[in-house]
């Protein structure tokens, strides 16, 4: 087979969860199934050399680059309304082309696979950027109609797609995300100390790592943390690490309103190489997101030996299994109670730590690649 991967999620200046999902999945697939041909396809207009540089960590001898000189944003917006064929730019090389970020353009040669990670568009549209929401509102239905197969990250998301788009339910297959246990593993004491010093962190802290945006439920987390400090004035700091998404102003406003400026820490951008030590050094990882198609950060934390508190909503229970404390994300008292349990119960933290290692091994990218390969074979 000749298999093309749309590299759009990988060529930006910062890689999101969608991008890391593609990076890990394609790496596992191309390393295991070497008898096939692969390539990364993307659009570039400005700074093509920079995009080549950004792609270098993901390029292998059997995954060359195939750039097309055109504006990626213009092409995506234009093809929502004008069916300008993708194969004009990328030819008729591929037997299968996989698009990892919701949208299949028109006129793709061969079979097509699209990953639809979640149904935030329908369940929580108010938490999305306006531009993203408009692109999906105008393009997602047509994309799923064009696709020969729709891949999603969890059985929860499969049920959500069937609920909102029942006409495409028979096309949906589940390929769970995984965790890279080479990249995410318990860090040494020296590495933890280095990262703590580099980002000006205290010795003990609760950690959130992800985008600062409404869907992550951080304002409610901050209020829950405030309540925890009223009961435990010496509770560890709360570290909210990650890039600013949109409507993040309310997060900083909540910290100011509750006078937690000394206790809630917003470190600068965390380089990829520091993430494992950041997880490893935390007392616990808190991820009370309202809605996730899968939720990779809790698994990353588990792989690093960090106990996890997360939501009992959406796909998160499916992702973490029995290896996390679950809470109702819409009740600050439930979040605060979960944090209290992790703060005060040493035995619970150790039990979750051991269960987390087991769960992280179960959710490997190699297993995910096997599931995806079976889909490619069926097509």
For the chain, the domains span 2-178+365-378, 189-362
Q: Is the pTM of the predicted complex or chain greater than 0.85?
A: yes
Burial class (CB in 10 A: 0-12, 13-18, 19+), 121: middle
C-alpha 215/C-alpha 197 separation (Å) is: 30
Residues of the chain with pLDDT under 50: none
pLDDT of residue 22: 97
Whether 2-178+365-378 shares its CATH topology with 189-362 is answered: yes
Q: Do 287 and 311 contact (CB within 8 A), yes or no?
A: yes
Output the pLDDT for position 136. Answer: 95
Calpha distance 94→104 (Å, rounded): 14
Q: What are phi and psi of 190, to 5 degrees?
A: -65, -40
| CATH superfamily of the domain spanning 2-178+365-378 | Glycogen Phosphorylase B; (3.40.50.2000)
Q: What is residue 379's predicted lDDT score, i.e. its pLDDT?
A: 97
pLDDT on residue 58: 94
CA distance 90 to 75: 13
Superfamily of domain 189-362: Glycogen Phosphorylase B; (3.40.50.2000)
Query: Residue 128: its pLDDT value, please?
Result: 86
Q: What is the pLDDT of residue 119?
A: 96
Would you call 121 helix, strand, or coil by DSSP? helix
Which of these, 273, 139, 286, lies nearest to 199 by C-alpha position? Answer: 273
């Amino acid at each position: 087979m000749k298999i093309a991967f749309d590299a759009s999620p990988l060529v930006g200046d910062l890689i999101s969860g969608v991008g890391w999902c593609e990076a890990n999945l394609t790496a596992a697939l191309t390393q295991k199934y070497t008898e096939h041909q692969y390539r990364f396809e993307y659009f570039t207009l400005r700074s093509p050399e920079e995009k080549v540089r950004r792609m270098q960590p993901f390029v292998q001898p059997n995954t060359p680059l195939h750039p097309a000189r055109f504006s990626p944003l213009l092409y995506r917006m234009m093809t929502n309304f004008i069916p300008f064929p993708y194969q004009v730019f990328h030819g008729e090389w591929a037997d299968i082309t996989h698009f990892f970020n919701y949208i299949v353009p028109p006129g793709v040669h061969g079979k097509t696979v699209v990953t639809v990670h979640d149904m935030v568009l329908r369940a929580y549209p108010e938490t999305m950027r306006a531009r993203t929401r408009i692109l999906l509102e105008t393009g997602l239905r047509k994309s799923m109609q064009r696709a020969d197969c729709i891949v999603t990250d969890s059985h929860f998301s499969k049920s959500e797609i069937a609920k909102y788009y029942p006409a495409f339910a028979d096309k949906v297959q589940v390929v769970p995300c995984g965790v890279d246990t080479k990249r995410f593993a318990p860090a040494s004491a020296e590495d933890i100390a280095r990262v703590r010093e580099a980002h000006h962190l205290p010795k003990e802290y609760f950690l959130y790592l992800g985008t600062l945006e409404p869907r992550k439920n951080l304002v409610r987390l901050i209020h829950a943390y405030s309540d925890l400090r009223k009961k435990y004035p010496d509770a560890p700091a709360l570290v909210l690490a990650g890039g600013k998404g949109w409507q993040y102003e309310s997060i900083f406003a909540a910290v100011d309103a509750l006078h937690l400026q000394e206790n809630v820490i917003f470190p600068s951008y965390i380089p990829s190489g520091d993430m494992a030590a950041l997880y490893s050094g935390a007392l616990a990882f808190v991820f009370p997101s309202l809605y996730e198609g899968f939720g990779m950060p809790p698994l990353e934390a588990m792989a690093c030996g960090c106990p996890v508190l997360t939501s009992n909503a959406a796909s998160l229970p499916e992702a973490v299994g029995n290896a996390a404390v679950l809470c109702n994300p819409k009740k600050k008292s439930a979040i605060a109670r979960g944090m209290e349990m992790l703060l005060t119960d040493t035995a619970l933290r150790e039990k979750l730590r051991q269960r987390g290692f087991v769960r992280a091994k179960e959710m490997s990218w190699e297993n995910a690649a096997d599931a995806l390969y079976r889909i490619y074979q069926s097509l």
